[in-house]
Structure 1
Amino acid sequence: MVREALESLLFDQSTNEAIREALPEWGITFFELFTHLGDGAALIIFATLLYWFGAESRRQRRVLVIAIGIGALAISAGMKGIFVRPRPDLADGYGGYSFPSAHALGSAAFYGSLAVVADTGTRAQRYFLAGTVILLIAFSRIVIGVHYVGDVLVGVIVGLLFVAILLRDSTPEPGFVFILAGVIALVALLLGSTEFTTMTTGASLGATVAWYTIADASSNPRGASILFLAYLCLPLIIALRTATSVLGTPDLGSAQWTLEIVGYAIATGLILAVPVIAEQLNDWPPVEWLQGRLPFTGRTIDPEKLQRTQTDD
């Protein structure tokens, strides 16, 4: 009786339809746009930019956000591949599985961990802002019809629990979290999941190797140096993601499966190594020219320079 009641409340398409019909057209449009703040690509870009252009003194805290993000992806992809629950009928043509919501879980992990490790504003302000963004993203998945209420509820709970367990008492060593993400990906693979297993396995492996290689290295790149190196690496990352999307899910142990793992390992390792490698470009004339024209002080954006640039424009 209780189970049936929960099923009808949390996993009933009519709930989605009722919520959508209760909103005005502009509200639906708002949520259709806002949901992209929880896209995997958006979260990866946000985390990467924070890591690359943040102060060197807080590098370990920022790389933790990346590590937790990879772990959250391993959890959501693993659960999707194990439960293989279809999406609501409203999501016709929308690929992947429904349970849990990767947007909800990933957003809870990313914005939640960022609120914990950041030092901007007060803790209460950061938690309130992160909580608002997480809830809006989760609700947007119901509004646009690609998830049931239960999908996003479980996603948010699991994502926040993952952050709470890792960051409750102290700041863990990032390498440990990368290894944990790899273990989660491996367990999901052993339990039969094929959802993004090459990505999660490769990313956790590459990140672990890269982090333990550069953890003790001090890096002082210019912001322009990072931009130049990122520009050179970007085509490789785009080519990898495009190839995996076109080729589809590989068979376990196949050449494609192995190459995808290696590719994601290299790509993730490069992302972590960019600040260290970019320092070698600091004295390159094009970098010096660009650095003088962008609002950077070292590798961080200088608010005063940014304001002067906007005033000059």
Structure 2
Amino acid sequence: MRLEGPSATIREAVSDEYVDIVVAVTELGSPTVLLFLLATLYWLVDRPRTLLVVSYALAGLTVLITVKAVLGMPRPPESLFLIELDGDEYGFPSGHTFAAVVVYGGLLRAFDRTRSLPAVVGVSGIITLVALSRVVLGLHYLGDVVAGALFGVLALVIFGRLVRGEPRRGFAIAVICSVPALLVTGVTSYTLLGIGGGAGGMFAARYVDRLPALRNRLEGAVLFVFGCTFVLITEVAIDAIPAAGGGVLEAGGGFLEFATLTLMGTLYGLQVAGIILVPAAIGRLEWPFASPTNWNGA
């Protein structure tokens, strides 16, 4: 089922001298890159449509970690790893491939580009490259990434029907789906992201329609820089928490451990809410030398 033979063929087809390129490709499906991509599109292109995909990604994460833990299928042997593992111990289905389908496929659907052949080919190409990169790096078998892609498509279909174009529904689903994730995996950084990020998204999404539109390119540039700085600061703060490495709150854990994980969940909530609401702060600035006709975004 995991196609170990074809996986070996794919690994052997790529020389070790191309590892850096493969790593760069696999990053296209990483949480950090997807976070900045969605944040940028939200700030500068289209807020409601991008926010919808953000809610899909967060809800999908909570479902994925539950499925992976329930199945409990390990990754390939560490001897095959070409890079250090930065993630959970389970390999089926592939999280990077799943995330690539949900985010890039979600954007394709949200922006009504499913009938555009160049857009479909481009998105399919990115997803395929991300999937194959996971196999080449030895972190997954071919069956893992195929399952990740199929699971991602299924998640998009289900989320589309449940959310019905309302991001707050998607964030609510993320919080709800965090409950079984908690029961299966315990309190981890991923479950805290689902709870905290989902709650922060539910709170902030109600104000999206009231946020001021971008007035010019200068404001867009300032928003991008200010927003990225905010995301980086919150990422550093979260990473500085010892439990950010995937620590679990054990039964009978002390107060300090509980407080630490509560802080992490709060930071996730602030991060998501901050990304959504940062245009409100930038919109208060005055631009005496910038023409409001210079910006074409929404």
Within 5 Å, give how 1:168-207 maps onto structure 2: 171-195=164-188, 196-207=190-201
CA-CA distance at 1:226 after TM superposition: 1.2
CA distance 1:76–1:299, shift in 2 (3 Å): farther
**Aligned residue pairs: how many?**
280
CA-CA distance at 1:138 after TM superposition: 0.7
The C-alpha deviation readout for 1:57-91, integer Å capped at 9, x for no partner, is x4211211111111122222333333343221113
The whole-number CA distance in structure 2 between the counterparts of 1:192 and 1:238 is: 23
Within 5 Å, give how 1:250-265 maps onto structure 2: 250-251=248-249, 254-265=258-269
Bigger relative contact order, structure 1 or 2 (CA pairs below 8 A, ≥6 apart): 2
The whole-number CA distance in structure 1 between the counterparts of 2:224 and 2:13 is: 45
SS at structure 1 position matched to 2:241: helix
CA-CA distance at 1:260 after TM superposition: 0.9
Within 5 Å, give how 1:64-213 maps onto structure 2: 64-89=52-77, 90-91=80-81, 93-95=84-86, 96-97=88-89, 98-119=91-112, 122-167=115-160, 171-195=164-188, 196-212=190-206
1:279 paired with 2:277, answer no
Length-normalised TM-score, structure 2: 0.82
The whole-number CA distance in structure 1 between the counterparts of 2:63 and 2:72 is: 14
List alignment gaps of at least 5 residues for structure 2.
Answer: none
SS at structure 1 position matched to 2:230: helix
1:267 paired with 2:271, answer yes
Q: Is the 8 A contact 1:175 1:211 kept in 2?
A: yes
| Aligned alpha-carbon RMSD (Å) | 2.9
With 117-126 and 73-82 compared, the bigger mean Cα shift is at: 117-126
The C-alpha deviation readout for 1:153-199, integer Å capped at 9, x for no partner, is 11111111111223369952110011011111222112334451112
CA-CA distance at 1:35 after TM superposition: 1.2
Percent sequence identity is 25
The whole-number CA distance in structure 1 between the counterparts of 2:19 and 2:61 is: 27
CA-CA distance at 1:124 after TM superposition: 3.1
With 88-97 and 135-144 compared, the bigger mean Cα shift is at: 88-97
The whole-number CA distance in structure 1 between the counterparts of 2:162 and 2:183 is: 31
CA-CA distance at 1:118 after TM superposition: 1.9
The whole-number CA distance in structure 1 between the counterparts of 2:43 and 2:61 is: 21
The whole-number CA distance in structure 1 between the counterparts of 2:232 and 2:21 is: 32
Q: Is the 8 A contact 1:166 1:172 kept in 2?
A: no
CA distance 1:71–1:183, shift in 2 (3 Å): same
Match of 1:49 in 2: 40
Q: Is the 8 A contact 1:76 1:101 kept in 2?
A: no
With 101-110 and 19-28 compared, the bigger mean Cα shift is at: 19-28
List alignment gaps of at least 5 residues for structure 1.
Answer: 1-5, 302-313
Q: Is the 8 A contact 1:81 1:193 kept in 2?
A: no
1:37 maps to which of 28, 33, 43: 28
